[in-house]
Chains A and B, each alone.
Chain A
Amino acid sequence: MRSLPLFSSCLAALSSFACAELNLSQPLLSKQVLPSTFKPPQVFKNVNLVRNTNLDKAYPRETINVIIENIDSKPQSEYYLPFESSLISRVGGLEVKDKKDAEKGSFKVEVVGLDEQSSTEFYLIHLPTPLAPKQQQTLSITYSVLSALAPVPAKIAQSGKQYLQYTFSAYTPSVYVTEKQKTKLKFPSGDVPDYTTLPADLNAESKADPQKQGSTFTYGPYNDVPAGAEQFASVRYEFTKPVIHATRLERDLEVSHWGGNLASEERYWLTNQGAELINQFSRVEWQKSQYMNPASSALKNLNLPLHPGTVDPYFTDDIGNVSTSHFRPGRKENLLELKPRYPVFGGWKYSFRVGWNADLSTYLRKLAKGDTYVLKVPFLEGPRMPEGIQYAKVHLRVILPEGATNVRYSTNVPLVDSTTSIHKTFMDTIGRTALELHAINLVDEFRERDLIVTYDYPWTAGYRKPIVITLGMFAVFAVTWVLGSIDTSIGKPKKV
């Protein structure tokens, strides 16, 4: 009977794994919840809409350029963008700019959900200045959709071509009437064996739909599409490259004033979402083909371009040091070339950590007055691959020196959460101040985005470490003297 509790505990452990796996796709965004009767007010119309879907990388990148017009009698500033509930949790990096004045920066966007039964949720875009009646504005909406491409066929041979399928609505989902619109798809090559053909009478110009031009397909134009209309279409195209998906990335940046060093460490949990192998993996076949270096759906290597001045890189995984890496210092960038222990085929996973050091003077400046410091670091540094990388969850931790206070930060990467906590490690007494930032659904295009952190660090806090060690050592001297002064001899005490 002893096996029963063991069995139940195993079951409980397995179910917790299953829960953890499921939680990965849960949106972390805090959102405003509206009643199910809510309908976005019909105060705008889309005069002209062009959607560009770029399928060059292993995730679709959508750019919607739309001219909106206020058809209400009052100025309006809230524009709703609808998504299905299952899709909105995979939409990442949604940014809205004024197409004609991109310098002004991104508009404020937030997620608005309806109650649990509803299958539609919205991104609410706040226009910085309300649009007057009958006025027009051109919006440029960009976002990426993660885990949106499915390999068809789902299983291929080791050296076979990989095809991905993308399903979308030929009518761009909108809660407003769209007078004129079209959707352009850009494929990585002209090899598109299957695609949905829509009836020519839907098309405004009564042409065959889609129109093909090399590796670009155009669905539309369509006239006067009502609000909420959808017309699903699928495309299947060749993509014999790995579909790299990081289920989690943890990135630590540790600032050391004493050492004048910025230590970076990144921990990756990668998976290849491409087609799985139909047969067993054959090392012989793999090794034979490597001489020719053919296109493959397996992940063979990762290139991390690091800033110049980077030193001491390391690359380890669960087993230990991975010796198949090269570090090539250069004038513009220091290239860290990583080769995983095994080629990562579809459905396979690989987790590893990389780290490096850099001089702090490049990243940290001191303000002229007071004890305030300003730190500017890249938010994301990961690999730069032609096929791109998608990050489902990113957890960035900036570990500041012990005693740093008044931490403020600024970044244009969309975040879902930020906290300040205490991180205790070597030679710490009260622990170091750590700024923790969480982001979801990022892609490798966010590599160049910066994070700026300011903090106060009084010089007295800086001396905490050596003073604590000094006091400890002095206590040892004092105890030695006290213990050495105790007279432990047998017999009467000597009179001096």
Chain B
Amino acid sequence: MSTPLLDVWEAAASSPYHPSIAKDSQFTLGAFLLLIALLLAGVFSLNRSILSLPVLGVPASLAFGFGAVYMICAVGVYV
């Protein structure tokens, strides 16, 4: 029996969804990004200035943001 949404499903047969980072690499990438965040935060704590806020704070925040998402997925809480 054919329904409109079943036709939509069949039409998209060639494009199954794959995440940009595979399940197996999530832990490695998450740990790597969190480590970078930790290192940059460490350097920032040694030299707190208005210049180091964007130079170190922004990449550290970005690394922590993406690293936290991948790490929480890697430990089984799929957000």
Q: Which A residues fall within an 8 A CB radius of B?
A: 103-105, 254, 256-261, 263, 312, 357, 359-362, 364-368, 373-374, 376, 408-410, 412, 426-428, 450, 452, 454, 465-471, 473-474, 477-478, 480-481, 484-485
Q: Which of B1, B16, B21, B49 contacts A362 (CB 8 A)?
A: B16
Do residues A412 and B17 form an inter-chain contact, with CB atoms below 8 A? Answer: no
Do residues B15 and A260 form an inter-chain contact, with CB atoms below 8 A? Answer: no
Q: Which of A357, A360, A427 contacts B19 (CB 8 A)?
A: A360
Report how far A427 CA is from B75 CA in the complex, Å. 14
Chain A residues with CB under 8 A of B77:
426
Chain A residues with CB under 8 A of B76:
312, 357
Do residues A477 and B15 form an inter-chain contact, with CB atoms below 8 A? Answer: no
Do residues B8 and A454 form an inter-chain contact, with CB atoms below 8 A? Answer: yes
Chain B residues with CB under 8 A of A367:
8, 11-12, 15
Chain B residues with CB under 8 A of A360:
17, 19
Do residues A374 and B12 form an inter-chain contact, with CB atoms below 8 A? Answer: yes
Specify the main secondary structure of chain A where it touches its partner.
Answer: mixed
Q: Using a Cβ cutoff of 8 Å, how many contacts connect chains A and B?
A: 137
Do residues A359 and B48 form an inter-chain contact, with CB atoms below 8 A? Answer: no
Range class of the B interface residue count = 35 or more
Chain A residues with CB under 8 A of B78:
254, 256, 258-259, 261, 263, 357
Instruction: Tell yes or no: B39 within 8 A of A by CB.
Output: no
State the Cβ distance, B1 to closest chain A Cβ, in Å.
4
Do residues A426 and B17 form an inter-chain contact, with CB atoms below 8 A? Answer: no
Do residues A258 and B17 form an inter-chain contact, with CB atoms below 8 A? Answer: no
Report how far A376 CA is from B17 CA in the complex, Å. 12
Report how far A357 CA is from B26 CA in the complex, Å. 15
Output the nearest chain A residue to B37 by Cβ-Cβ distance: A473
Report how far A409 CA is from B41 CA in the complex, Å. 46
Do residues A470 and B61 form an inter-chain contact, with CB atoms below 8 A? Answer: yes
Residue interface mask B54-77, A partner, CB < 8 A = 1: 001110111011101110110011
State the Cβ distance, A257 to closest chain B Cβ, in Å.
6
State the Cβ distance, B20 to closest chain A Cβ, in Å.
9
3 interchain residue pairs of minimum CB distance: A470-B65, A260-B19, A256-B78
Do residues B48 and A365 form an inter-chain contact, with CB atoms below 8 A? Answer: no
Report how far A360 CA is from B64 CA in the complex, Å. 25
Report how far A471 CA is from B37 CA in the complex, Å. 14
Q: A257-B19, A466-B69 are in contact. Are A474 and B5 (CB under 8 A)?
A: no
Output the nearest chain B residue to A106 by Cβ-Cβ distance: B1
Would you give 11 A-B contacts (Cβ < 8 Å), ordered by A?
A: A256-B78, A258-B19, A260-B17, A410-B4, A450-B6, A452-B5, A470-B66, A473-B61, A474-B61, A477-B53, A478-B57
Chain B residues with CB under 8 A of A257:
17, 19
Do residues B12 and A465 form an inter-chain contact, with CB atoms below 8 A? Answer: no
Chain A residues with CB under 8 A of B48:
480-481, 484-485
Chain A residues with CB under 8 A of B49:
481
State the Cβ distance, B31 to closest chain A Cβ, in Å.
16
Q: Which of B3, B11, B17, B73 contacts A373 (CB 8 A)?
A: B17
Chain A residues with CB under 8 A of B21:
260
Report how far A426 CA is from B78 CA in the complex, Å. 9
Do residues B5 and A469 form an inter-chain contact, with CB atoms below 8 A? Answer: no
Report how far A362 CA is from B37 CA in the complex, Å. 34
Do residues A481 and B15 form an inter-chain contact, with CB atoms below 8 A? Answer: no
Do residues B12 and A259 form an inter-chain contact, with CB atoms below 8 A? Answer: no
Do residues B60 and A473 form an inter-chain contact, with CB atoms below 8 A? Answer: yes
State the Cβ distance, A67 to closest chain B Cβ, in Å.
23
Do residues B65 and A256 form an inter-chain contact, with CB atoms below 8 A? Answer: no
Chain B residues with CB under 8 A of A408:
5
Chain B residues with CB under 8 A of A410:
3-6
Report how far A413 CA is from B49 CA in the complex, Å. 63
Residue interface mask B21-62, A partner, CB < 8 A = 1: 111001000000000010001001100111001001110111
